[in-house]
Amino acid sequence: MTDTNPDLVCRDLTKDFDSFRAVDHVSFDVPKGSFFSILGPSGCGKTTLLRMIAGFQSPTSGDLQIKGKSMIGVPPNKRPVSMVFQHLALFPTMNIGDNVGFGLRQRGVARTEIARRVDEVLDRVGLPGVAARRINQLSGGQKQRVAIARCMVLEPDVLLLDEPLGALDLKLREHMKVELKSLQAAFDTTFVYITHDQSEALVMSDNIAVMNHGRFEQIGPPHEIYHKPDTAFVAGFVGDANKIDAKVASVNGAMVTLTSVGAEMRVEAPGSELIAGQEAQVFLRPEAVELTKSDHGAGEGDNVSACTVDAVLFNGANSSVIVRDQAGHLMNVAMPQTGSFSGLQVGDAVFTRWHPSQARCYPAATV
């Protein structure tokens, strides 16, 4: 029978440092064999949360269970978890095999068994036959794989990863995102990954928790976090967005009409509690806005604005255009990839259009 219980369960986990609350009633479940990321800005409490799971720090209150067993009071070396640190903490004077076998030696496993398991795990991370080589003979990406092998050889139920790609250069980081995700799938082990890099979280995770000031603002799969952010913080932190301060003019069912210094816009906000007269913030992704040369052909109910080009930011496939509407608002719009705007110049007249379902709006008070 398949085990459907979550590998990791946290309930109301809280950590106070004197009068400062670093982690504030955090609750979540991580299903077995899934990749769970905790994403948030510096200082939001990610490391403190991870350290509580690892057992390096005790919670002030709340419960934490791994495979149905409470870990409160269980020392780090008795927990079925292993941790990959940002700086990997490999031993430079030991060869790769000794680094990977270190935890097994601590556990008193027989030498022949250690050698067998080290070779097997190095094979699985795509580094066969390197056991006798020195750590400094490896590239940054290979060192990452050794650090993971060193944890996985201990067969943990949960692998904790503390921003392990943070020290790598951009190109290698892009590559390692894909690699880490496929290693996780191959090992079928539960990964809990902390990062302040939204792209790492979006690419690798089955579920993401977005953390702010010690609390989880939203937990969900990447596409939900990106397309349906629950709060203004999530909308602003994950992905690029134009943020427009506005006032609610009227609410008609799910359709909210807002004004913002001389401009009017409509946003679909089903279930929102916005009321006329309320200050609000509208978030609109650059890729949700269509750039056109005329105002013909707009869809029913689209928000359409006549604009001039303020700047063209060429960045290959991620090129964008800053446009200014007649009320003076600036908006970042993704450059269409068709090539039809390749000759666009500052000062050109263009139109923007976007459907009311493409934006999100929130009461300004929650920001």
Q: Name the closest residue to ligand ATP (Cβ).
A: 47
Closest distance to ligand ATP from the beta carbon of 83 (Å):
14
State which residue, 44 or 238, has the beta carbon closest to ligand ATP.
44
State which residue, 50 or 127, has the beta carbon closest to ligand ATP.
50
Q: How far apart are CA 24 and CA 211, in angstroms?
A: 10
* Helices 111-124 and 140-152, packing angle to 10 deg: 130
Asked if 5 and 34 count as a contact pair (C-beta separation under 8 A), the reply is no
Asked if 123 and 186 count as a contact pair (C-beta separation under 8 A), the reply is no
Burial 5-41 (b: 16+ CB within 10 A, else e): ebbbbbeebbbeeeeebbbbebebbbebebbbbbbbe
State which residue, 187 or 237, has the beta carbon closest to ligand ATP.
237
Most distant pair of Cα atoms in the chain: their distance: 77
State which residue, 15 or 143, has the beta carbon closest to ligand ATP.
15
Pick the closest to residue 327 from 254, 283, 277, 265 (CA basis): 265
Closest distance to ligand ATP from the beta carbon of 89 (Å):
16
Beta bridge partners of 269: none
Closest distance to ligand ATP from the beta carbon of 209 (Å):
12
Closest distance to ligand ATP from the beta carbon of 24 (Å):
11
Closest distance to ligand ATP from the beta carbon of 108 (Å):
33
State which residue, 218 or 358, has the beta carbon closest to ligand ATP.
218
* Helices 96-106 and 111-124, packing angle to 10 deg: 130
Pick the closest to residue 187 from 162, 206, 161, 159 (CA basis): 159
Q: In what order do the strands lie in the sheet with 349-354?
A: 290-292, 349-354, 303-313, 320-325, 330-334
Interface positions with ligand ATP (CB under 6 A): 17, 20, 22, 40, 42-48, 196
State which residue, 97 or 214, has the beta carbon closest to ligand ATP.
214
Closest distance to ligand ATP from the beta carbon of 238 (Å):
16
